[in-house]
C-alpha cells in the first residue's frame, strides 16, 4: 500500500523527497505523474524533469523520453500503457494495486462477448481499461481526444461500440450524433457529482465558471462552461477571465490549479446534498495509494514492476498507436474535449 503524505511529518516528507530525488538520478529514471496523485509526487516529477499530465500526455511522454526506467505515479492502466508503448523499458509503479473502477467494471471475457455479439461495430475503448480489453479494441481514446476520434469515425459512416464509461460515451454521442452502443461503466469519483446541488452552489457564486470532466453525470455536464479533460480544465483555470471556478473532477487536480493560478478561487463541485449521511470525498482511492514511501520503495528495491505478456502487448499496442498517430496528425489543442466556453 502507498503511504499518503497526510500520514507523514514534514521532516519525513522532505527526507523521502530527497531520497526519491537521489534514487531517480542514480537509476536514471523519470517520474511520470497524473494530476490526481499526491502533490508531493507532482512537485517531484516537475522538479526532476518528469511530467505531470493527463493520461494521453503521460503515454506520449513516457514513450518519447530517453530514460530506460519510467516510474508511473497513477493507476494500473497508466503503467500498462507505458509498458505497452515501451516494452524494452522498465516501468515501475509506487503501488501496483492502484486500479480504477472503469477498468474493474469491464472484465475481459464479458467485454469480448459484447464485441463478438456486434461484429459490425468499430470498437473504441477508453484508456481506463486493461491491456486485454485494449487488445480487443480498434481504437483507444482518452478524454483529450475522444471527441475528435469519434467524430472522425462517424464521418466515415462507422458504427461504434464504446466502453467503458457511460457518461463520457453519452457526452460524445450527443456532441457527434454517432451511432454508439455503450458499455455501462462509471468512474466512482465523477459519478458522485450532483446536478441539483451544483445549481445551488452556482446561485451562491454567480461569477464562477463551472469546469466539468465528462465522466460526470449529464445533469452536471449540462451546467458546464467548459467540458474537458484534466489538461483542458487546468488550461481553463489559467486562461479564463473569472475570479472563481467550480470544479467537477478529482480534487487532486487542485494542487496544479492552485500553483498555476494562485489568485483564482477554486470550489469543489458538490458530491451530495446537505442531508446526505455519506458524502464522497471527490478523491480517487486508487490514485491516493501513490505516496512518497511507495515511490522510494519501488526505486530502491525494484518492486512494483509492470509486466505485460509480450504478445498481448503487441496486440494492445495497435489501438494505442492508432490514437497517437491520429492526435499527432490532427494536432488538436492539448487536453480539449470541447472548446473553452462550450458546454
Ligand atoms: S478517478 Fe475515476 S477514472 Fe480516474 S482512476 Fe479513479 S476511478 Fe478511475
C-alpha cell at 108: 475481459
What is the rounded CA–CA span in Å between residue 277 and residue 48? Answer: 43
| Ligand 1 centroid, distance to 217 Cα (angstroms) | 14
CB 269 within 8 Å of CB 233: no
- Looking from the CA of residue 77, the nearest atom of ligand 1 is 5
- Looking from the CA of residue 285, the nearest atom of ligand 1 is 6
User: Which residues does ligand 1 sit against, CB inside 6 Å?
Assistant: 36, 75, 100-102, 128, 187-189, 250, 284, 286-287
- 199-209 core/surface letters (b: 16 or more CB in 10 A; e: else): eebbeeeeebb
| Ligand 1 centroid, distance to 188 Cα (angstroms) | 7
Residue ranges in the chain whose pLDDT is less than 50: 1-3, 333-343
| Ligand 1 centroid, distance to 283 Cα (angstroms) | 9
| Ligand 1 centroid, distance to 156 Cα (angstroms) | 31
- Looking from the CA of residue 74, the nearest atom of ligand 1 is 5
Pocket test for ligand 1, best of 2, 188, 289 (most atoms within 8 A of CB): 188
| Ligand 1 centroid, distance to 189 Cα (angstroms) | 6
Burial class (CB in 10 A: 0-12, 13-18, 19+), 157: exposed
Task: Check residue 257 and give its pLDDT.
Answer: 98
Fold for 190-268, please state it: Rossmann fold (3.40.50)
Say which CATH superfamily domain 5-99+287-308 falls into: NadA-like (3.40.50.10800)
| Ligand 1 centroid, distance to 108 Cα (angstroms) | 18
For 102-185+316-330, CATH gives 3.40.50.10800
- Could you state, in order of their start, the residue ranges of all structural domains in the chain? 5-99+287-308, 102-185+316-330, 190-268
What is the rounded CA–CA span in Å between residue 10 and residue 29? Answer: 25
**Which residue reads 511520470 in cell numbers?**
32
C-alpha R_g of the chain: 19
Pocket test for ligand 1, best of 100, 126, 281 (most atoms within 8 A of CB): 100
DSSP 228: -
Task: Check residue 340 and give its pLDDT.
Answer: 35
What is the rounded CA–CA span in Å between residue 263 and residue 51? Answer: 24
| Ligand 1 centroid, distance to 333 Cα (angstroms) | 23
| Domain pair 5-99+287-308 / 102-185+316-330, same fold | yes
What is the rounded CA–CA span in Å between residue 321 and residue 309? Answer: 18
Pocket test for ligand 1, best of 53, 76, 287, 290 (most atoms within 8 A of CB): 287
Task: Check residue 279 and give its pLDDT.
Answer: 73
The count of C-alpha atoms lying within 13 angstroms of the C-alpha of 201, restricted to the half-sphere facing its C-beta, is 26
Task: Check residue 339 and give its pLDDT.
Answer: 38
DSSP 337: S
What DSSP element (H or E) covers 72?
Answer: strand 69-73
Q: Within 10 Å of residue 69's Cβ, how many Cβ atoms? A: 18
| Ligand 1 centroid, distance to 54 Cα (angstroms) | 12
Which residue's CA is the nearest one to ligand 1's atom 8? 100
> How do 160-163 and 122-126 pair as beta strands?
parallel
What DSSP element (H or E) covers 42?
Answer: helix 39-47
C-alpha cell at 126: 477508453
Task: Check residue 1 and give its pLDDT.
Answer: 40
> How do 265-268 and 244-248 pair as beta strands?
parallel
Task: Check residue 280 and give its pLDDT.
Answer: 80
| Ligand 1 centroid, distance to 103 Cα (angstroms) | 9
Burial class (CB in 10 A: 0-12, 13-18, 19+), 311: exposed
| Local structure of 140: helix, strand or coil | strand
What does residue 268 show for φ and ψ, rounded to 5 degrees?
-75, 135
Task: Check residue 186 and give its pLDDT.
Answer: 98
Amino acid at each position: 500500500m502507498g503511504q499518503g503524505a497526510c500520514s507523514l511529518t514534514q521532516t519525513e516528507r522532505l527526507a523521502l523527497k530527497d531520497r526519491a530525488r537521489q534514487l531517480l538520478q542514480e537509476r536514471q529514471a523519470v517520474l511520470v505523474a497524473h494530476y490526481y496523485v499526491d502533490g508531493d509526487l507532482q512537485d517531484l516529477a516537475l522538479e526532476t524533469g518528469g511530467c505531470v499530465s493527463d493520461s494521453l500526455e503521460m503515454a506520449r511522454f513516457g514513450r518519447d523520453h530517453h530514460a530506460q526506467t519510467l516510474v508511473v505515479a497513477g493507476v494500473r492502466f497508466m503503467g500498462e500503457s507505458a509498458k505497452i508503448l515501451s516494452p524494452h523499458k522498465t516501468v515501475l509503479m509506487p503501488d501496483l494495486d492502484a486500479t480504477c473502477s472503469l477498468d474493474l467494471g469491464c472484465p475481459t471475457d464479458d467485454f469480448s462477448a459484447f464485441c463478438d455479439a456486434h461484429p459490425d461495430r468499430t470498437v473504441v475503448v477508453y484508456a481506463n481499461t486493461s491491456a486485454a480489453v485494449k487488445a480487443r479494441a480498434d481504437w483507444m481514446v482518452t478524454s483529450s481526444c475522444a471527441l475528435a476520434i469519434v467524430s472522425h469515425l462517424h464521418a466515415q459512416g462507422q458504427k461504434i461500440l464504446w466502453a467503458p464509461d457511460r457518461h463520457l460515451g453519452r457526452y460524445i454521442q450527443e456532441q457527434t450524433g454517432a451511432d454508439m452502443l455503450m458499455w455501462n461503466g462509471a468512474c466512482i469519483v465523477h459519478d458522485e457529482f450532483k446536478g441539483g446541488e451544483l445549481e445551488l452552489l452556482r446561485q451562491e457564486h454567480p461569477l464562477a465558471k463551472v469546469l466539468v470532466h465528462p465522466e460526470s453525470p449529464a445533469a452536471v455536464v449540462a451546467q458546464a462552461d467548459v467540458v474537458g479533460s484534466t489538461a483542458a480544465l487546468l488550461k481553463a483555470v489559467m486562461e479564463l477571465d473569472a475570479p472563481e471556478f467550480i470544479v467537477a473532477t478529482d480534487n487532486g487536480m487542485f494542487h496544479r490549479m492552485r500553483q498555476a493560478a494562485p489568485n483564482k478561487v477554486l470550489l469543489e463541485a458538490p458530491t451530495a446534498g446537505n442531508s446526505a449521511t455519506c458524502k464522497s470525498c471527490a478523491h480517487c482511492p486508487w490514485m491516493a495509494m501513490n505516496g512518497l514511501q511507495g515511490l522510494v520503495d519501488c526505486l530502491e528495491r525494484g518492486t512494483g514492476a509492470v509486466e505485460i505478456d509480450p504478445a498481448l502487448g503487441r496486440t494492445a499496442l495497435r489501438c494505442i498507436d492508432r490514437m497517437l498517430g491520429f492526435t499527432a496528425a490532427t494536432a488538436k489543442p492539448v487536453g480539449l474535449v470541447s472548446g473553452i466556453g462550450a458546454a
